[in-house]
Amino acid sequence: MEHLLEIAYLIGSFGFIVGLKMMGQPDSARKGNLVAAFGMAVAVIGTLFLDKNGFHVIGNLGYILAAILLGTVVGTLMAKRVQMTAMPEMVSLFNGMGGLAAALISIIEWQHVETGIALGKFIPIIAGLIIGTVSFVGSMVAWGKLNGKIGDFRFPGQQYINAVVLILIITASVFTFQAADLGGGHESMTQFYITMAIAVVYGLLFVFPIGGADMPVVISLLNSFTGVAAACGGFLYDNNVMLMGGVLVGSAGTILTVVMCKAMNRSLTNVLIGMVGSGGSSSGSTSSGGSVREFQATDVAIMMKYASKVIIVPGYGLAVAQAQHVCHELENMLVAEGVDVKYAIHPVAGRMPGHMNVLLAESNVEYDKLIEMEHINPEFTTTDVVLVVGANDVVNPAAKNDPASPIYGMPILDVDQSKQIVVLKRSMKSGYAGIENDLFFDPKCGMLFGDAKDSLQKLVNELKSV
């Protein structure tokens, strides 16, 4: 009986690891979520009803179960009702709640600190407070920026100010430890809350300047912050499953952040001091003064029907128009005509990592047709038609050709190497980075203006009649 809790935590940890592994492949990601959820359920039940001596009901069980029930109902309703375009916002919101929970744990535990606190206990408390607070505040700002309620806020030298604020956080933490060591937790509450206040400031300054296509980097990093904050709680309570879950989330988020930085040609150091999206001028990329061709749906349908290979490049506009299902229908019709159809997935297309993968999986697109950037780029030279649906910055040649462009150096999809390019857009309005796309003026490129869903439906109808 005395080992039941350890067994429950072992099952929970195993569920986390296996679930995370399964999430690495699109065709097993849904099952991976269920496996991880099962592991979490076992860990929670073990915490509530077991201790190191066997069966034991935790205190305040009624309040805990009521909170779990409320969270389950709210979370289920939000997940069921959220539109795919709002998925990044929901991810930021939920991630922020995790950071807030970690910060609250530190605040509550600090109330019980006595004189002469050990450094081994102080570090997880203060780290959980700082990282959890930054994650919560930063995620809320990211949520506001993603839904358009908060704009970019920058001023000269902001990255240096962010570095100074980080130093102030460390300094305040040292004073907090000294105050606790001398007078106990109650006497050091002022220093403790000063540290938290500075962390709030850093959370704001860290995310406020983020703009352009850099938001997926920040979402990944904030996710890793929440994991590290949760791991601090695991250290604090000597809870192995909490520690394991936090470490997995933190490490996975960090690895994903590095991948996103590489995809954006940014350094992680610059992300940490708030330089993401702050380099260059928004007006750095200008067109060559060429004219824009406009296609009709009939022309595009004929072009694709008699092509040997077509690559579809999905972007945020596809999600906005909720056009993933009709896009899949178009793909099926082309395949029936003997056309080789693939999807080119840029790592930061959309507003969060994997946004396009999730969107297309929702419409049952075969997973092996979703090709990552490094694997699809060599194929553009042998592609007859590229259909760009709502993507902008990730196909902009200025990233390769214009040193003055704010996205210069960012790896992009080499659609300009294909034989013909068709871009589905509502208008000539710039993308999320706020710069003009040189691709639109390429002689091989033509625009099919209109709502992406309506335009794709027109292509489907034209293909039926061709």
Residue positions annotated with a catalytic role: 393
Closest CA to 346 of 393, 304, 383, 379: 393
What is the rounded CA–CA span in Å between residue 176 and residue 190?
A: 8
The pair of three-digit structure tokens given for residue 204, joined into one six-digit string: 């704001």
Q: Do the beta carbons of residue 210 and residue 218 sit within 8 Å?
A: yes
Alpha carbon distance 57, 78 (integer Å): 31
Q: What is the distance between the alpha carbons of residues 10 and 17, in angstroms, rounded to a whole number?
A: 11
- Count the residues in the chain: 466
Rounded Cα gap, residues 284 and 278, in angstroms:
13
Under the phi-then-psi rule, with left for phi > 0, alpha for psi from -120 to 50, and beta for the rest, what region is 327?
alpha
DSSP 338: T
Angle at 230 between CA 226 and CA 235, to 5 degrees: 145
SS3 52: coil
SS3 423: strand
One DSSP character per residue, 94-132 reads HHHHHHHHHHHHHHHHHTT--SS--HHHHHHHHHHHHHH
- 409 sits in the region (left: phi over 0; alpha: psi -120 to 50; else beta) called left
Please state the three-class secondary structure of 254-267 as a single string.
Answer: HHHHHHHHHHHCCC
Distance in angstroms (rounded) separating the CA atoms of residues 462 and 305: 10
Please report where in the chains the tokens 């293909």 appear, as a residue. Answer: 463
Q: In angstroms, what is the C-alpha Rg of the chain?
A: 25
Q: Which residues pair with 313 in a beta bridge?
A: 388
Backbone angles phi, psi at 443, to 5 degrees: -60, -25
